[in-house]
Amino acid sequence: MVLGRPGTGQASGGRPQPGHRSWQLPAAAAACALSLAACVAVASGHHLLTWFDLAVYNHAGHLARSAPQRLYSWQLRPLIRFTYPPFAALVFAVTSLLPWTVLKWLMIVASLAALAASIRLTFGALGRAGRARVTAALGLTAVALWTEPVLHGLGLGQVELLLMALIVWDLCQPDRRWWKGAGIGLAAGIKLTPLIFIPYLVLCGKLRQAAVAAAAFAGTVAAGFAVLPGASGRWWWTGYFLQPGKTGDAASLVNQSLLAMVARAEESVRHATPAWLAAAAVVAAVGLTAAAVLHRSGRPVAGWVTCALTGLLVSPISWDHHWVWIVPVLVLLADAAQRARGAARWVHATAAAVVAVVFGDWPSQWTGPLALVPRGLLGFFPGPFGPNLYVIAGLVMPAAAVTAAARAPTRRSAR
């Protein structure tokens, strides 16, 4: 992880800084356009655009409108069912009114826009502005499109990129805005994992923002009970949301969480649960503390990225496409490499390259129907490393944050 302090990338008037060449923006735009075209061509040619998860969302929306009592018993196929909170079903009830063809392509466009927006917002939070910010965002988007979590999520029609954009947008708002935190609460109403940002805000001393996030989340719960009381009762009162196996095999290769890593070692999710709970408690405590220290020492972006990675590790289910949060990691590393000088620049650039390689969408073979199967390097390496590649990488990145947090002096006000 990069842990450099934010700075001013460019004057607010949009004039290029000294050293910013006029050809960089057109080159970045061309690279982004070519990357996008190639990505769509490859995904279409190799049938990666399945919209599988989007189909689950769409069916859940129809059920919420016509047969809410079946919302959490219906299965698309064995072990494939709707698992999100009732408020998410209300959102999907609205989107299910659209024709399927329109919904599919609207989801692709919205997800691509969310990816670019997350990158642009993160660069802005790091102090980039104007032409330099747009150039950097276009260049990083061209790279991020070829990461396995992003490409797989796009093919499935997943909501992860949209939720990430909503959370990043919320965190990048000025503290003076009274509604800051609402985006986190709404995102948690659709999927519970963003709840980890609430204790992070508390530890950062952002008590008002944490309260707003909690209130917004409570509002989504109340909306679910008001419109879908039966489904909400089953979701919340029976412990349905605490059952990791309801979404599939928790020990599957594509589940890249601490629970999955321990379960693969124990060859049993049930036997792995006590060890996972202990490990998750330690990782959550250390990760959130480091994230808060980074924020208080003037590194807010590194802080909330560390929080997001901690959430991926401690969540019982973190499918490979949930790891889209490595995109802000790439932004941090790229920004640090550009600002640094001498050996430090090479260290940050190398770290960015390593992250891109580890999370890249490498093909299992270069030609034929199995080319660019969205699994990247997962399972490629022998031994315990291969099946747990994202988990190990996820542990290394917060470990770097912990080291930086231990060396960072706490400031009274974070920039």
In this predicted model, what pLDDT tens digit does every residue of 103-129 receive, in sequence order? 999 999 999 999 999 999 999 999 999
249 CB-side CA count, 13 A: 9
Could you tell me the pLDDT band of residue 15, with boundaries at 50, 70 and 90? Answer: very low
Query: What pLDDT is stored for residue 205 in this prediction?
Result: 96
pLDDT in tens, 302-345: 999 999 999 999 999 999 999 999 999 999 999 999 998 999 89
In this model, does residue 404 exceed pLDDT 90? no
Determine which of 78-82, 145-149, 247-251, 255-259 has the lowest per-residue pLDDT on average.
247-251
390, 320 contact by CB (below 8 A): yes
Length of the chain measured in residues: 415
Yes or no: say if 374 and 385 are a contact pair by the CB < 8 Å rule: no
CB-facing half-sphere around the CA of 315: CA atoms within 13 A: 24
Cα–Cα distance, 147 to 160 (Å, whole number): 14
Question: Rounded CA gap, 165 and 180, in Å?
Answer: 14
Provide the pLDDT confidence category of residue 239 given band limits of 50, 70 and 90. Answer: confident
Q: If you average pLDDT over every residue of the chain, what do you get?
A: 88
Mean pLDDT of 214-225: 98
The rounded distance, in Å, linking the Cα atoms of 50 and 44 is 9
Residues contacting residue 381 through CB under 8 Å, at least 6 positions apart = 389
pLDDT given for residue 376 in this prediction: 80
Give DSSP secondary structure letters for 297-348. Answer: TT-HHHHHHHHHHHHHHHSS--BGGGGGGHHHHHHHHHHHHHH--THHHHHH
- What does the buried/exposed string (b/e) look like for 167-193 if buried means 16 or more CB atoms within 10 Å of the residue's CB? bbebbbbeeeeeebbbbbbbbbbbbbb
Dihedral-angle region of residue 14 (phi above 0 means left; psi in -120 to 50 means alpha; beta otherwise): left
- Listed by start position, the domains of the chain span 24-407
Q: What are 278-313's pLDDT values in tens digits?
A: 999 999 999 999 999 999 999 999 999 999 999 999
Is 70 exceeded by the pLDDT of residue 392?
yes
> Coil, helix or strand for 160?
helix
pLDDT of residue 238: 83
Kindly state the percentage of the chain with pLDDT values over 70: 88
Kindly indicate the confidence band of residue 267, based on its pLDDT and cuts at 50, 70 and 90.
Answer: confident
Q: Are 212 and 181 in contact (CB under 8 A)?
A: yes
Average pLDDT over residues 401-411: 67
Residue 194: the pLDDT is: 97
Are 271 and 327 spatial neighbours (Cβ–Cβ below 8 Å)? no
Averaged pLDDT, 367-394: 77
- Could you tell me the pLDDT band of residue 368, with boundaries at 50, 70 and 90? low
Q: If you average pLDDT over residues 141-150, what whole number do you get? A: 95
The pLDDT value recorded for residue 414 is: 40
Amino acid at site 248: G
| pLDDT-based confidence at residue 372 (cuts at 50, 70, 90) | low
